[in-house]
Amino acid sequence: MGTPLTEKKGMYAALNNCAFVSTENIRDSPSKPFVFLMDLSMLGVGVGFDTKGAGSIKILGPDTSKQPIVHQIADSREGWVESVKALLDSYFDKTAPVVFDYSLIRPVGQPIKGFGGVSSGPASLQRLHNDITQVLIRGNVLTVTCIVDIMNYIGRCIVAGNIRQTAEIAFGDPNSEEFINLKNYDINPHRAPYGWTSNNSIFARIGMDYSSVTEAIIKNGEPGFAWLQNMRQYSRLQDPIDNKDERARGGNPCLEQTLESFEMCCLVETFPMNNENLNDYLETLKYAFLYAKTVTLANTHWPESNGVMLRNRRVGCSMSGVAQFISRDGLDELRNWCQKGYDAIQKYDSIFSDSFVVPKSIKTTSVKPSGTVSLLAGATPGMHYPESRFYIRRLRLSCRSVLVDVLRDANYPLEPAVDDPTNTVVAEFPIDAGKGVRVVKEVSMWEQLSLASFLQRYWADNQVSCTVTFDPKTEGPQIQHALDYFQYQLKGISFLPRFDMGQKKAYPQMPYEEIDEEEYQRRKASLKQLQFQSGEEPSPDKFCDMDSCQIKPPAATQIEMTDH
């Protein structure tokens, strides 16, 4: 969950909201990757995971010769997470069966401290326990499907109630038909209600045959691609091989960050289109990077995360509104701002690292996909061109969110979520992207790939998050050839088939849907002013790893902010 920060001229928003965990060593602690994902997901953190641990764990089942243990679930994030750990351990370690007592969980509708919103009650957790049990009793070995199913079920549980939102990405082997077909609902129809909770990408290998996955991409846009070799060997792709990230194991859900197992990332977003000139943008980068570097000083309650984060100090300083900038100033000026901006960030990193007495950041820049944050700044998201001049932006909300009545009273369309109609609603917002910027159907698949390559070369030493929109009929057959060329120029990429307005959607309740100007004006005219009522701010639920919590301000640190 991020808090927008507004700078006087160049707006920027900072987030510490992504992580990755590998299952490669799952034999050492079978439940830990799942527990890590659930714990961070409940904090609003998007988590990536791989399936490398498939086949290494036997599902033993609970020891039914022992008396069942009654596990009373505490009414807290930690309580929910501990319940899932207890259930998994009973199957992986053959401990006594677990019987859950949900009586302490606050009823539906009661307020949640800290995050805001209201409780969904114990129902979503009860369903999660049942879902995980069904996964574990159907086989003797932890398979690729088992790993992804459990992670996806956890994701569905998290988004089912209150205002918490999260994201997942699953990484699999390019030769695994089991993994590639996870979102083929003709083959796996039972996964349709929950498979949407993760993006699925393969760890692509340089020189591989891409033809085998093209058909799946044309159908639903997956799998995506992550070239782990490029992620480990290179910073920016215009620079020589440095092998800085040889320990890297994957990335975050939108794949703008290279990450080691248990590593979390710190993202900060800038909007060069909102800056008056290059010097103004460099000034924005100074304060944006200072914020992000400061965030790396904080510890988490996961020792494994602290170890890698304190060593890497990884930052992802991103830029959004790229399409608008190109339309206004051209590609060569963008290259100049990227080069000068990247050099300035390396200088700031040296200054701030010396002042904080910490290592320099292993990597510093990325391009995140953005979305709602960029809308607040009036910018197009990340490097992406808008879906159309006019479009519908959809957001998911808990049925019990206080925002539901606010939006309904203002005539914003609301409808039950197709995958969770009992607990979740989808709100629709009409958007006008503005004049002068080309829309995505005017930008070819090859140009989108080229722009991602451009930013990977001149700006991002982590990754560029890019979802290439393509015409399934005319450009779909070209995907395998495009990947042959761009595998040397990218670290990750994903695809989404584009359907013309009036034709079928790629999937129900898509986050973006094109509309015409008449529909936009009709929707806009029906809206009323949003009326928010502020209530008493609740004292937050805190996590403490000791008997008491004590927060002390750090000693004042004087940092000289030199001119450029």
At 469-493, the pLDDT tens digits run 999 999 999 999 999 999 999 999 9
Q: At CA 247, angle to CA 263 and CA 40, rounded to 5?
A: 15
Q: At CA 33, angle to CA 28 and CA 34, rounded to 5?
A: 125
- The pLDDT value recorded for residue 371 is 75
Residues 447, 450, 451, 452: is their CA dihedral positive or negative? positive
CB 514 within 8 A of CB 498: no
- The pLDDT value recorded for residue 144 is 98
The neighbouring-strand residues paired with 514 are 391
pTM for this entry: 0.85
- Kindly state the percentage of the chain with pLDDT values over 90: 71
Q: At CA 66, angle to CA 63 and CA 71, rounded to 5?
A: 90
d(CA 23, CA 320): 33
**Cβ neighbours around 68 below 10 Å, total:** 12
At 204-256, the pLDDT tens digits run 999 999 998 998 999 888 999 999 999 999 999 999 999 999 999 999 999 99
Tokens of 278: 């290059």
One-letter identity of residue 479: I
Q: Are strands 467-470 and 492-497 parallel, antiparallel or unpaired?
A: parallel
- The pLDDT value recorded for residue 160 is 66
- The pLDDT value recorded for residue 113 is 62
d(CA 143, CA 33): 15
CB 266 within 8 A of CB 252: no
φ, ψ at 552 (rounded to 5°):
-120, 140
Tokens of 286: 């100074």
Residue 473's alpha-carbon distances to 184, 388, 477, in angstroms, are 19, 20, 7
Residues 1, 494, 128, 140: is their CA dihedral positive or negative? negative
Provide, for the chain, the percentages of residues in helix, strand and coil under a 3-state DSSP scheme, each rounded to the nearest 5: 35, 15, 45
Q: At CA 40, angle to CA 39 and CA 41, rounded to 5?
A: 95
CB 338 within 8 A of CB 400: no
One-letter identity of residue 23: T
d(CA 207, CA 388): 35
At 311-354, the pLDDT tens digits run 999 999 999 999 999 999 999 999 999 999 999 999 999 999 99
* Active-site hit among 18, 146, 157, 254: 254
Cα-Cα end-to-end distance for the chain: 32
Cis peptide before 240 (omega within 30 of 0): no
CB 234 within 8 A of CB 462: no
Tokens of 299: 């510890």
What distance lies between CA 97 and its chain's CA centroid?
A: 35
* Residue 256 a catalytic site member: yes
- The pLDDT value recorded for residue 525 is 95
d(CA 320, CA 35): 33
* Active-site hit among 7, 168, 222, 256: 256
Q: How confident is the model at residue 293 (pLDDT cuts 50, 70, 90)?
A: very high
At 137-149, the pLDDT tens digits run 988 999 999 999 9
At 397-407, the pLDDT tens digits run 878 788 899 99
CB neighbour list of residue 270: distance below 8 Å, 6 or more residues apart: 10, 12, 281, 284, 285, 288, 317, 318, 319, 320
User: Averaged over 262-268, what is the pLDDT?
Assistant: 93
